[in-house]
Amino acid sequence: MNKTDCLIVGGGPSGLFAAFYAGLRGLDVTIIEHQDRLGGKLKFYLDKIVWDIGGVEANTAANIRESMVKQGLTFDPTVHLNESVISVNKERDVFKVETTKDTHYAKTVILATGVGVFSPVKLDLKETEDFEYENLHYYIEETKHYKDKHVLISGGGNSALDWAAHLADGIANVTLVCRKDELKGYEATIKDLETKHVRIIKQRTIEELRSNQDGTLIDRVVLSGGEEIDVDIVFVNHGYKSDSALLESLKTDVKMNEHNQILTEDRVKTGVDGLYAIGDQVHYDNRVHLIATGYPEASEAVNFAKYYIDKEERDYATVSSHNEKFDELNKEVRRNLE
């Protein structure tokens, strides 16, 4: 049985820093991430400017994500993408982690699942699978791909309205379709849409997608009521559905609140020795939901994990100057700074 020292569930900001710090403390690390890439929720707003990470200048989420991933991979952890954890169970002194693809074993586990495993609510049309990876989108990574396009957005909530306003700000020609007679967004955002001349079609849904001649792209959308609209891109924002299998497997051993957040002791302890939780999945008094909050939680969880594995080790901080791996890396950094 191959056992990793520390298995981290989730490759978002908190999980990536945990992977870095675990490597710094000499632990063998495995990361399991249900998405197709690391970076967590930053993936969903890559163009957004992020200001609230201490000591980091304002930058796009895309650039910050790139830096986080690079740091998280410093000590070469094993990474499994497109793999969801179904259950975590402790059998004697070993954690058995079942996933959608395999069974993994670990001495310790750090849960860094963020707000959970979510997938977008997709259009319930027979033809949608043909267009999944073409010009039918369920999240927006980089708005440069939308430049000068006619974008039809389906959705009436805050997120859909925010994207409509953003894209209509000199990027794209936007049509917004919602099934209700009122929009759910903030009043200021709705006024912004009117100012930017976004066409808003209420009490309509997408009934049919029609493709171009070679069948690779959507070029026309048919709405309920019969109206047909020529489009370049269709962006569907109908919310997200969660997969609660992992949380259900933990409920007999781990305390949770009514929102399925893990109630921790000492910020990161779950009540199960060797099992820790960090990031937005965690709840304790006065916790602030920022990316930066997950960093001290990550280092604390790793230190507890290190001490749990080897009681001879100290359970307090180690810094980068204590690790010989940085001798050569520091030289490279200094050369780049010259």
Q: Same domain, yes or no, for 113 and 219? A: no
Which residue, 220, 238, 256, sits at the end of a domain?
238
Task: Label residue 111 by pLDDT band (50, 70, 90).
Answer: very high
pLDDT tens column, 113-132: 987 777 788 888 877 766 66
249 has binding-site annotation: no
Q: Same domain, yes or no, for 202 and 62? A: no
How far is 245 from 58, CA to CA, in rounded Å?
Answer: 36
pLDDT higher than 60, residue 133: no
Q: Same domain, yes or no, for 201 and 214? A: yes
Q: What is the pLDDT of residue 131?
A: 60
Q: Same domain, yes or no, for 151 and 103? A: no
Where do we find the tokens 């370049």?
232
Q: Same domain, yes or no, for 51 and 114? A: yes
85 has binding-site annotation: yes
Which residue, 218, 238, 258, sits at the end of a domain?
238
Q: Same domain, yes or no, for 289 and 315? A: yes
254 has binding-site annotation: no
CB under 8 Å to 110, separation ≥6 — which residues?
6, 7, 8, 9, 15, 18, 22, 276, 277, 278, 298, 301, 302, 305
Q: Same domain, yes or no, for 20 and 166? A: no
Which residue, 204, 238, 272, sits at the end of a domain?
238
User: Which pairs with CB-CB distance under 8 Å and at least 24 residues apart come from 21-24?
Assistant: 21/298, 21/299, 21/302, 22/75, 22/77, 22/110, 22/302, 22/305, 22/306, 23/74, 23/75, 23/76, 23/77, 24/75, 24/318, 24/319, 24/320, 24/322, 24/323
Range of the domain at 266: 3-118+241-337
pLDDT tens column, 67-78: 999 999 999 999
Q: What is the pLDDT of residue 115?
A: 76
Q: What is the pLDDT of residue 316?
A: 66
Q: Same domain, yes or no, for 97 and 245? A: yes
Q: Same domain, yes or no, for 254 and 333? A: yes
Percent of the chain topping pLDDT 90: 69
Span 32-37, average pLDDT? 93
Task: Tell me the backbone φ, ψ of residue 289, rounded to 5 degrees.
Answer: -85, 80
pLDDT higher than 80, residue 331: yes
pLDDT higher than 70, residue 233: yes
Least confident of 87-96, 157-166, 240-249, 281-290: 240-249
Span 44-61, average pLDDT? 89
118 has binding-site annotation: yes
76 has binding-site annotation: no
Round the average pLDDT of the chain to a whole number and report it.
91
Q: Same domain, yes or no, for 109 and 246? A: yes
Q: What is the pLDDT of residue 120?
A: 85
Q: Same domain, yes or no, for 221 and 301? A: no
pLDDT higher than 80, residue 27: yes
pLDDT higher than 90, residue 211: no
321 or 290, greater pLDDT? 290
Q: What is the pLDDT of residue 96?
A: 97
Q: What does the block give as tokens for 58?
A: 């304002």
The tally of domains found in the chain comes to 2
The CATH number covering residue 145 comes to 3.50.50.60
